[in-house]
Structure 1
Amino acid sequence: MALLGIAKKIFGSSNDRRLKPLFRRVEAINALEEELSKLTDEGLIAQTEKLKQRYKDGESLDDLLVEAFATAREGAKRALGQRHYDVQLVGGMVLHAGDIAEMKTGEGKTLVATLPVYLNALTGRGVHVITVNDYLAKRDAEWMARVYSQLGLTTGCIVHGLSDEERREAYQSDITYGTNNEFGFDYLRDNMKSSLDQMVQRGHHFAIVDEVDSILIDEARTPLIISGPTDDKSELYLKINEIMPRLEEDDFEIDEKQRSITLTEDGNEKIEDLLREAGLLQGDSLYDSVNISVVHHVNQALKAHKIFQRDKDYIVRNDKVVIIDEFTGRMMDGRRWSDGLHQSVEAKEGTTIQPENQTLASITFQNYFRLYGKLAGMTGTAMTEEAEFEDIYKLKVFEIPTNKPIAREDFDDELYMTAEEKYKAIAQQIAECHKVGQPVLVGTVSIEKSEYLSSLLSDKKFFKDLAKTLRERAAALKDKETELKENLEEQATYLSSLGDKKEPIPHNVLNARYHEQEAEIVAGAGVPGAVTIATNMAGRGTDIQLGGSVDLQLMEVLEEDDDEDTINRKRAEIEKKIETVKQQALEAGGLFVLATERHESRRIDNQLRGRSGRQGDPGTTKFFLSIEDDLMRIFGDSMEKMLKRFGIQPDESIEHPWFTKAVETAQKKVEQRNFDMRKNVLKFDDVINDQRKAIFEQRIEFMSSETVDDIISDMRGQLVDDLVAAHLPAKSYAEQWDVEGLNKELTEVFGKEFPVKEWASEEGVADTELAERIIEEANKLAGTRAAEIGPDTMRRIEKAILLNVLDTNWREHLQMLDHLRSVIWMRGHGQRDPVNEFKTESFALFAGLLDGLRRDVTRMLMNVQVRAPENAVPERRDIPMTETHVNPSTGENEMAAQAPRTRLSAGIGTIKGMANASGVDPNNPETWGRVPRNAPCPCGSGQKYKHCHGSI
């Protein structure tokens, strides 16, 4: 190890060696600074046009990098008054190369991105900058648009609630900012449109992902899903909800690590009796096939009642159950868990139960981001996940040096036996910081804990009792421990004085309940003496500046009629004031980051730590833990025994590198489990990704073609070949042919009886010859139909029906894959690999999709009836859609509110009498042909086919 240390000092780390060539290019960029600074604003825009032309003339982006980076830096200096540091130039080169730049908090990642964004925007193919939330997307777009505008480029921003036209305009910009969800959903929605001019995206050239670890690691455990409404089952949820409180603890088992719950044998018998009593159970057993839906809803109700907690996983507001984002502590207003879980929670809380949804389209973040020709990312913490970035995305991680050395002091974790003792120590530490005017950021993991700590800091009696405890501890000390005794008495006196105040320690709480005041609270978090309690500050992507934020304070004093001179004067006054306040905060020790417990992910902890010590400022960080914390209780099995062996006393703590290491080990277990979950999701999505690509590419081909009659003709011929092969097997004798069955199916599909019996009775006729005759007759019939309706109109009808049927069959296919995925894991009990089994089954289902597509398209076109030529083209009937992304912390779906702007076609609006035209008899199932499982049953019952004659 010593030799490794010596070698590292001599040759540098592997990261240093990788960055060394990049620093050489920095010198070349700096050399152009004086020359570019002499250009007028118009000359700077002309410089952009020159670089664009050189790219068109054949020079590569790498050839243009030095001049482009120097130009972008000049633009930033003029637009923002900010000059890129040398290390920021290096970070920009890493991003341009399609890698990940790990840059500490406060090092200006937002500004760094302008360099590779500008360079790659010169191609004219569009650059996407992807952030974790709408607030950051909007803020960064507005902020950096000033730079791009200075350079002659346009900027767009994609946020929730935009119309398709607004989205299309944003994507046409040179640079487009937006969230990961919005980009992914736009891709899915584009592949559900009926024409090319309705699509909003224009390809996937280059993307930079901000907070790349959060988006590509944490969020990527679950796919993006677009759903549509299904039947209302409110009564079923309410009935099952009434049963849940009657279960006792020994009726179920909870696995906190997996956040799952299962019934015990006794619990299973009890739930069967209760369901039977409620009239919800059919047959003898809960697990009979007829009760599959009931089993599913019971499991979801169990989760809702026994695992999901109010004010931690969700809050109830305005008759709605609103999900809390575990990573940011924000309310996910409009997002919903799927598979009936949200409805189960709504039933539990007594709010209005909203209807469920079914999957219409889906994709994982992994497969979405793999669409980009070049992908890059930036974050403050990526090195811990370097292996996963390399494995899944082929991205390398580069650690970019800080502009100034880090002066922050990170203490070892302080571990207590109980949560009560821990919170006493936390309050005491906050009081000490408050006394000297040191700003404190307190990180908590839930709303409940942030508000509990807030209540302690507002409780006069708590501080009086704490002072009394310290005095008793001081009295018990021996005379030789005089210094410690005096310290305890001094602390007790100060804590007692806090107990005499109206509000012992003034503080702000930043969680989902107060997210509207987020910017204001964060801006004041670096002021001397400020105490800010925040749920997962790490995920907020906001910089805490000592002394406060100049921009936010300026916005508060600006008036509409202020001219530029007035604005500059007010800014100068605020900067002077903040500089004085900042000096006070620095003298007090800088920002103290106090974490109340460890997060499951070390990266989140590191991000929280990174809020302190920005740009070389001093600071302190410390984690306070207890054996009763969730992470320690679930994963730190040996910790409690170890503490007892040390003979730890009440209100005493252990502070040692060994314990910090043990906590990291527990976190690694969680991270490995989460990595396995992400890889498992990806394995299954990879199986259908080729199918998804084939369908989406096929749709684009259909939409871009002026006519699809060749495709329709091929489908018709293939369908006939398949029908003939099924009823007249190759190498079989004529006596073995099922001519009657073939004739029946042809009549059902084409709406006309062919002389198949007559042809088949001819001596020496072969099956291939018979197929050729049928195809010839079918083509003649199709020609006649086209002549009746009109060739041009028929071409449009063909395209509309082709897209409608493709969409319908693809949706049904996705549903079947969802059902398959939910049960395929059981085959692992038979020593069979579920992924391989899924591959085999899904391939067979996809083959069935294609067969069904040929049959349905041919049947509909051969039996189409038009009211009037001017209304001949089928209209698209609207289905409201819901955007869904699963909460990575719970593994459950979060759904956005219905988006009226986004509509999906379903069915054929102006084609009448489809059933009767195809010879369907409601009383004869043999005439129905292939009925989609979610279509109305042809018998006329009003139920879906799958709930009626199609029930299994």
Structure 2
Amino acid sequence: MFGMFDSTKKALKRYKKVADKVMALEDVYKKMTEEELINQTVILKERLKNGETIDQILPEAFATVREASTRITGMTPYYVQVIGGIAIHEGNIAEMRTGEGKTLTSVMPAYLNALNGEGVHIVTVNEYLAKREAEGEIGNLFRYLGLTVGLNLRDYDRPQKKEAYACDVMYSTNAELGFDYLRDHMVLYHQDMVAQRGYPYAIIDEVDSILIDEARTPLIISGPAKATQNLYQQADRFVKSLADEDYELDVEANTVELSPSGITKAETMFSIDNLYDLKHVSLLHHINNALKANFTMFKDKEYMVQDGEVLIIDQFTGRILKGRQFSEGLHQALEAKEGVEVKKETVTVATITYQNFFRMYKKLSGMTGTAKTEEEEFIDIYNMQVIEIPTNKPVIREDAPDYFFVTAEEKYEALVSEVERRHQLGQPILIGTIAVETSEHLSMMLTKRRIRHEVLNAKNHEREAEIIAKAGQKGAVTIATNMAGRGTDIKLGEGVKELGGLAVLGSEKHDSRRIDNQLRGRAGRQGDPGFSRFYLSADDELLVRRGGETFKTVFERFKKLQGTGEPIQFKMISNIITGAQKRSEGNNSEIRKNVLKYDDVLRLQREIIYDQRTAVLKDESVESSVIQFIKDVVESEVDDYITPVGKNKFDIDDDGIITHFESFLFPKGTLDKETLEKFDEKEVVEYLKEVGIKLLQEKKTQVPIEIYNEFLKVIMLRVIDTYWMRHIDTMQELRQGVRLQSYGQQNPLIIYQREGKRIFDEMLYGISKDVARYACLGRIQVNVQREAVVKNTATNQGQDPNKKDKPKKIKVHSNQLPWNR
């Protein structure tokens, strides 16, 4: 790896030198026979084995891919794609414009890094793209060069997944990788883990979408439910009965709290004396969720109701997130609000954020059309620089200045008239919207004017790629929510170039400039002509929420100046809008960093527990750990019965020791008082440890050694899993509890870290105490079997794919696996 964080300019200078070497080899590789070309993989692997570094073989590896690609796909990677490939290989983000061939670019670094046999994961935003690459010509290109290609789909069972993970190159979605990691630490046998080689290198396509937009939603695997349904309905009824003065709504921060009069009402209605007493944490949590559901979330914007179900609408893509739920009870609060059946809240069994999951990779890189505006965050959290790769042909798209209107209606009117004007000429038009409701409103307006069009939103994304691909045909009009069809190119139909290419019209600006740039970048690919313009109004959410006071005064002045329906183009307004977006980006970035700070507390704990658990699965015997637990527990528990009474003198309560230890660690009648009385304060401790270890090791003589080892493993797994599951739940409740603490002027994060550590240490001691107890007191049965603590796991992105009822021929205790329940 070269020096990090040199500017794009310096990096490009360096990359160009390497890229020149790759291009210089072109003729040599062109002349190779098929056999010689395919044999390059063997030669390069040998060179690595003989001590050459990956950087040293880069030029030959990239040259091999370029020639193979020409023969297999008919496409030869351009010079700029080679540069992009080098940026990706170095663990950075290649920012490449739409239509510059990111997919082919990633093949070069993936091939190079797969040569050391550790595996490369290529991460996509949806299964359609993963499948398209793995099964299509890109997959064929890898296979032609002698590498194995795996595909990791949600519906696959464990053996299929394990096979995919063992391939040289594996295509997968980000969610599936994260869930596999969590499920791997719930398995009962080591051979059931799918990611046997760990996490070597990932190339993330649409890296901003995965590492930034989705970073606020942690992945959650949950078990069966807690029953709290009627509390949701009670809280909802209470909130709906409030008058305006009973709550305070902050539109900008999108938060809502009870006011003093609201608190009094709550105390009366639920007949309690103090709502903020810690024993009412659960009730307060339900009331806060009901407030949030009723006053900050709107139907058909954040969620929709279909067939008696509340479905989340992804705020970035406008898609429905089927099977996903808002966490921490918010989903149930919305169900109560909308009067549909309130589903049971589930218990979280395992959870991780995308940030912490991807930071586990030894090397991480990515590509996207838009990442520069978030570069600071990429450097900060992931140690990745954003390198802007020049385009193969100059961009000639016209990005027209924003048009600004007083009211939303005037804006839509003007936009639809512009669509009509361009449509009569036959120019294809793509209309970008942020919310589902906007796309439906515009669709109605177009229908009234008899303009045929396609609508792409949460309600029909199955046909997404097909609709987007046709959006460049003559006369096509497409309305699409933000990121619909990411990863699909819009190619221009015949005669469209002469009409000015694709026209992109934005119906409002997004909180993040990156997503606007994404929409713009749909037009003008590979030197094609194109046009883009955003239509804005004072009613737009971004301006209402983030415009600030200056905006309001400036705006009042404009209202007087503007004739009806005429657009205003004014630099000052554009600056205010950019300022609003920057504030919004900063705000969102802070939220993500905050999520990460909280998850970092859990991450350290998760790593300790997962390492301990994996060791139990892998080690032949866990006897030494169990003995250590017995020693720790004896030392800790005996403390209460030995009191210092002067210099080096101790009072030892022998009766107390016998009563206590014979109730929780040894069988009745194990300890003899006369023997105990002979020992001083140090010998007592040693004696008790010996008794415990002897009890454990006597079991060895009663059964074959493998049954003894299995008995201890069963205890360890059972106890670790039970405690860890409860711990995650406790930590989630603690996190909500500390939010309340912030009213007391204390920093909630510090309380969370401190309390979190205390609860974790208590949990670790609980684990050692229970393991010691079961090991000393338990009787070994010959048919001892490992058993899952949680049955019926589900993920917050739908059901667990591995929960299929398949008849199993192999004699594994398949009924013991949590995913076969």
Instruction: Give the TM-score, by structure 1 length.
Output: 0.80
Trace 1:443-592 onto structure 2 (pairs within 5 A): 443-460=432-449, 504-537=450-483, 540-547=486-493, 581=494, 584-592=495-503
Residue aligning to 1:363: 352
Change beyond 3 A, Cα 1:539–1:364: farther
Change beyond 3 A, Cα 1:858–1:623: same
Residue aligning to 1:611: 522
Residue aligning to 2:613: 699
Matched, 1:413 2:402: yes
Partner of residue 742 from structure 1, selected from 634, 637, 657: 657
Q: Secondary structure at the match of 2:272?
A: coil
Residue aligning to 2:28: 35
Amino acid aligned to 2:114: A
Matched, 1:104 2:97: yes
Partner of residue 190 from structure 2, selected from 196, 201, 223: 196
8 Å CA contact 1:739–1:756 kept in 2: the answer is: no
Residue aligning to 2:331: 342
For residues 560-590 of structure 1, what are the alpha-carbon distances to aligned partners after superposition, in whole Å with 9 as ceiling and x for unaligned?
xxxxxxxxxxxxxxxxxxxxx2xx2111111
Residue aligning to 1:901: 803
Distance 1:70 1:695 in 2: 45
8 Å CA contact 2:117–2:168 kept in 1: the answer is: yes
Distance 1:799 1:78 in 2: 54
Distance 1:296 1:780 in 2: 50
Q: Secondary structure at the match of 1:200?
A: coil
1:424 deviation in Å?
0.9
Larger Rg over CA atoms: 1
1:195 deviation in Å?
1.9
8 Å CA contact 1:416–1:652 kept in 2: the answer is: yes
1:766 deviation in Å?
2.1
Residue aligning to 1:755: 671
Change beyond 3 A, Cα 1:602–1:739: farther
Distance 1:727 1:694 in 2: 32
Residue aligning to 1:492: none
1:425 deviation in Å?
0.9
Residue aligning to 2:411: 422
8 Å CA contact 1:538–1:604 kept in 2: the answer is: no
Matched, 1:21 2:21: no
| Structure 2 unaligned regions, length at least 5 | 1-5, 806-812, 817-821
Residue aligning to 1:472: none
Between 598-607 and 790-799, the greater mean CA deviation after superposition: 790-799
Distance 1:353 1:601 in 2: 34
Partner of residue 758 from structure 2, selected from 844, 860, 864: 844
Q: Secondary structure at the match of 2:99?
A: coil
1:353 deviation in Å?
2.8
Change beyond 3 A, Cα 1:166–1:729: farther
Residue aligning to 1:640: 552
Residue aligning to 2:106: 113
Amino acid aligned to 1:879: K
Partner of residue 84 from structure 2, selected from 91, 99, 109: 91
Residue aligning to 1:711: 625
Amino acid aligned to 1:17: K
Residue aligning to 1:135: 128
Matched, 1:873 2:765: no
Partner of residue 151 from structure 2, selected from 151, 157, 177: 157
Distance 1:135 1:900 in 2: 20
Distance 2:340 2:802 in 1: 23
Distance 1:334 1:112 in 2: 34
RMSD, aligned CA: 2.4
Amino acid aligned to 2:770: D
1:735 deviation in Å?
6.6
Trace 1:254-265 onto structure 2 (pairs within 5 A): 254-265=249-260
Distance 2:483 2:213 in 1: 16
1:826 deviation in Å?
4.5
Residue aligning to 2:164: 170
1:798 deviation in Å?
0.2
Between 429-438 and 532-541, the greater mean CA deviation after superposition: 532-541
Q: Secondary structure at the match of 1:426?
A: helix
8 Å CA contact 1:440–1:530 kept in 2: the answer is: yes
8 Å CA contact 1:224–1:363 kept in 2: the answer is: yes
Partner of residue 221 from structure 1, selected from 216, 223, 227: 216
8 Å CA contact 1:422–1:624 kept in 2: the answer is: yes
| Structure 1 unaligned regions, length at least 5 | 1-12, 461-503, 548-580, 885-894, 912-952
Amino acid aligned to 1:394: N
1:716 deviation in Å?
0.9
Between 416-425 and 823-832, the greater mean CA deviation after superposition: 823-832
Trace 1:766-781 onto structure 2 (pairs within 5 A): 766-781=680-695
8 Å CA contact 1:226–1:882 kept in 2: the answer is: yes
Residue aligning to 2:3: none
Between 636-645 and 170-179, the greater mean CA deviation after superposition: 636-645
Distance 2:411 2:769 in 1: 68
1:253 deviation in Å?
2.5
Matched, 1:81 2:74: yes
For residues 136-183 of structure 1, what are the alpha-carbon distances to aligned partners after superposition, in whole Å with 9 as ceiling and x for unaligned?
222222232011011111111112222111111110111011111111
1:832 deviation in Å?
4.2
Change beyond 3 A, Cα 1:902–1:199: farther
Distance 2:383 2:486 in 1: 27
Matched, 1:126 2:156: no
1:516 deviation in Å?
1.9
Q: Secondary structure at the match of 1:361?
A: strand
Amino acid aligned to 2:254: R
8 Å CA contact 1:99–1:395 kept in 2: the answer is: yes
Residue aligning to 2:140: 146
Residue aligning to 1:629: 540
Trace 1:299-338 onto structure 2 (pairs within 5 A): 299-338=288-327
Equivalenced residues, count: 797
Distance 2:189 2:643 in 1: 41
Residue aligning to 2:778: 864
1:325 deviation in Å?
1.0
Q: Secondary structure at the match of 1:682?
A: helix
Residue aligning to 1:470: none
Distance 1:110 1:730 in 2: 72
Change beyond 3 A, Cα 1:726–1:135: farther
Change beyond 3 A, Cα 1:369–1:756: farther
Percent pairwise identity: 43
8 Å CA contact 2:25–2:63 kept in 1: the answer is: yes
Distance 2:761 2:295 in 1: 42
